[in-house]
Amino acid sequence: GAGVSQTPSNKVTEKGKYVELRCDPISGHTALYWYRQSLGQGPEFLIYFQGTGAADDSGLPNDRFFAVRPEGSVSTLKIQRTERGDSAVYLCASSFQGGVPGELFFGEGSRLTVL
């Protein structure tokens, strides 16, 4: 597909469980971002990758959250010991060098519900 692909689209889990969310960015986009959108709120920045490395992870709320992008393409957001407050839509976005500043191409998100 031409857009950012995120799987799963919906994930229901129990408190304390481990969760992985996957993002497949647009081909050729070197930058990849994770944002979190809680109900009724705007997206909040979590982490930014340029290539394989995390250029800025200052938005990760605590050490239960971790993200990787081992080959500079697909990324996985990992959440350990999930809590009810982690329930949100996790949005992945990508962008390319030389594009319109501020233009992030978002996926449809992974909706996480922690019971």
Partner 1 sequence: QKEVEQDPGPLSVPEGAIVSLNCTYSNSAFQYFMWYRQYSRKGPELLMYTYSSGNKEDGRFTAQVDKSSKYISLFIRDSQPSDSATYLCAMDSRAGSYQLTFGKGTKLSVIP
Q: Which residues would be at the binding site for partner 1 (CB under 8 A)?
A: 4, 31, 33, 40-45, 48, 56, 58-59, 91, 93, 95, 100-109
Query: Rounded to the nearest whole angstrom, what is the least distance from the CB of residue 45 to partner 1 in the complex?
Result: 5
Nearer to partner 1, 48 or 86 (CB): 48
Extract the tokens encoding 62. Answer: 């605590």
**Closer CB to partner 1, 53 or 102, in the complex:** 102
Query: Residue 8 CB, nearest distance to partner 1 (Å)?
Result: 14
DSSP summary character for residue 28:
T
Q: Report the residue number, 81 or 95, with the smaller CB distance to partner 1.
A: 95
Q: How far is the CB of 81 from partner 1 (least distance, A)?
A: 26
Query: With respect to partner 1, which residue has the nearer C-beta, 52 or 80?
Result: 52
Amino acid (1-letter code) at residue 33: Y
- Give me the residue label for tokens 């809680």: 38
Within 10 Å of residue 20's Cβ, how many Cβ atoms? 13
The CA-atom distances, in angstroms, between 48 and each of 15, 17, 55, 60, 114 are 27, 25, 6, 10, 24
What is the C-alpha to C-alpha distance for residues 36 and 19, in angstroms, rounded to an integer? 15
Q: How far is the CB of 26 from partner 1 (least distance, A)?
A: 12
